[in-house]
Amino acid sequence: MPKNYPKDIKEKVRYLRSQGWSLGEINLKLSIPKNTLSGWVKDITITEKQKERIEQKMAASAAKGRIAAARLLHERIELWKNGIRQRIRPFKNLALEDPQIGKIICGILYLCEGAKYPSSRYLYFGNSDPKIISYFLTLLRRYYAIEEGKLHFDICYRWDQNYEELKNFWSKVTKIPKSKFLRSKPDIRTKGKPTLKESYKGVGRVAYYSTDLQFELQAIGEAIISGAEGD
């Protein structure tokens, strides 16, 4: 059954509408259904300026709604990611606590990103992600009796990047002295094409002059893969 409203309420609604209030604004202020409000004010004509104001308010409200929805989606994604991170926490330090697992991961990384024997006769491992380069070197130094003097590094970088700045960056990441960096030249194919990602530091490549270590890492990776295939 329709609710009866006092006359002064209806008059207030009509006044607000005549002042250019939208039905949504009146609804929020007086908690009266929009379909009821529409019937009370259908004979009131608002000015173009008032219409423009209402449209701007509606656009602003829609924008706020999109921002709120985006924020809610971001929060849900973060909750989902944090849930997975908590689930895999037991894996976090396995490679650093167990030599066998550490060597397995080192071998898999090398099989994916390293130069293979016999096309290469020394260890050569590259990636654009500093964390991967750093982690590979951490495992290499932890589980293999490498000679630091045989560790070298080079950088594949873009034409507009500053090589000295890149050397400083990668030397800090790898703990390899800049004196051990090999001569590098920018990729001529990138000339005239600005680097879009500020965080991009080129492709860093670890070089270690040992065929024996290179092939051991490659063989570990190949053994894991072949074992998964049932060979």
Q: What is the pTM of this model?
A: 0.71
User: Which tokens hold the place of 104?
Assistant: 């397995």
Residue ranges in the chain whose pLDDT is less than 70: 1-2, 228-231
Q: What is the pLDDT of residue 55?
A: 84
Count how many residues are written for the chain.
Answer: 231
Residue-wise pLDDT for 188-228, tens only, equals 999 999 999 999 999 999 999 999 999 999 999 999 998 76
Residue-wise pLDDT for 127-150, tens only, equals 999 999 999 999 999 999 999 999
Q: What is the pLDDT of residue 202?
A: 97
Evaluate whether 120 touches 165 at the Cβ level (below 8 Å): no
